[in-house]
């Protein structure tokens, strides 16, 4: 059975983190995914404390989000984080609006830059990839989409596919799974509420309680190299509800 992990960003509004880790483990999750807001500035002692909290709850952190500036400008810190916490897959998760290119050439250049940044981490034995949002699937003036140009510029980049953001970007997730199936090494599992619902949760839903065709999508994703499936909900009101309902739905698929 495919395991479901948990992106700790979902629980940023439900501190403290040690209590979150206990809840996650009690709900049946064995993996978590980290993000920069937790560990980007941690020193080695703090990282070891976090690793101890993971270990004591029977949790691993095989994947993590690392900001582009950290990856490019502070590689020793990024490697310290990954090494100490046991991360295997490093994913760059976002590009601020004011840093986003506006044309195909700009996005391809960004892909080349990501590819260059990746070399140090790949050489150290890590998987290195991009994690998408919706803006990568918004059409550029020439009708193309940024995601294709990022991968053209970075032919060796892997992909943590956030399926729900692909859908929100107006693209067909099945088509992109087929197109880049050899690059998909991790997947974000999240759901979209029906139109007009869950507005106080930014329109997201617990997995299995929204509109995303997860049963069919998971079947398609099984043809990819994806090793890690990670639950995410960007703004849940109730952490316990999210944890329990989502894993129940995922296990039924």
Quick one: pLDDT at residue 1? 61
Query: What does the pLDDT average to over 79-94?
Result: 98
| CA gap 252, 111 in Å, rounded | 37
The CB density around residue 50, as the number of other CB atoms within 10 Å, is: 21
Q: What is the mean pLDDT of the chain?
A: 97
pLDDT tens track for 40-63:
999 999 999 999 999 999 999 999
Radius of gyration of the chain (CA): 17
Quick one: pLDDT at residue 148? 98
Q: Please say if the pLDDT value at position 235 is more than 70.
A: yes
User: In 148-234, which ranges are E strands?
Assistant: 158-162, 184-189, 191-192, 204-205, 228-231
pLDDT tens track for 97-141:
999 999 999 999 999 999 999 999 999 999 999 999 999 999 999
pLDDT tens track for 145-164:
999 999 999 999 999 999 99
| CA gap 193, 209 in Å, rounded | 7
Indicate the burial class of 113 (C-beta count within 10 angstroms; 0-12, 13-18, 19 or more). middle
Q: Which pLDDT band holds residue 2 (cuts at 50, 70, 90)? A: confident
Concatenated DSSP letters of 68-81: HHHHHH-HHHHHHH
| CA gap 237, 242 in Å, rounded | 9
């Amino acid at each position: 059975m495919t395991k479901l992990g948990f992106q700790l960003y979902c629980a940023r509004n439900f501190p403290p983190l040690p209590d979150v880790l206990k809840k996650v483990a009690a709900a049946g999750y064995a993996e978590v995914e980290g993000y920069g807001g937790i560990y980007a500035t941690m020193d080695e002692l703090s990282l070891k404390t976090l690793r101890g909290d993971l270990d004591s709850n029977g949790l691993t952190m095989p994947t993590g989000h690392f900001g582009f500036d950290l990856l490019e400008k502070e590689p020793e810190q990024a490697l310290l984080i990954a090494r100490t916490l046991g991360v295997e897959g490093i994913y760059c998760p976002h590009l601020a609006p004011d840093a986003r290119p506006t044309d195909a050439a700009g996005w391809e250049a960004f892909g080349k830059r990501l590819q260059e940044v990746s070399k140090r981490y790949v050489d150290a034995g890590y998987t290195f990839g991009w994690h998408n949002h919706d803006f990568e699937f918004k059409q550029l003036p020439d009708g193309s989409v940024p995601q294709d140009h990022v991968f053209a510029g970075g032919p060796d980049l892997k992909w943590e596919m956030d399926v729900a953001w692909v859908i929100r970007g107006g693209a067909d997730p099945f088509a992109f799974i087929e197109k880049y199936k050899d690059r998909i090494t991790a997947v974000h599992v999240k759901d979209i509420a029906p139109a007009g619902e869950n507005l106080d949760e930014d329109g997201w839903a617990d997995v299995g309680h929204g509109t995303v065709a997860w049963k069919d999508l998971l079947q398609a994703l099984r043809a990819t190299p994806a090793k890690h499936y990670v639950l995410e909900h960007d703004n849940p009101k109730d952490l316990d509800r999210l944890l329990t309902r989502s894993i129940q739905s995922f296990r039924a698929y």
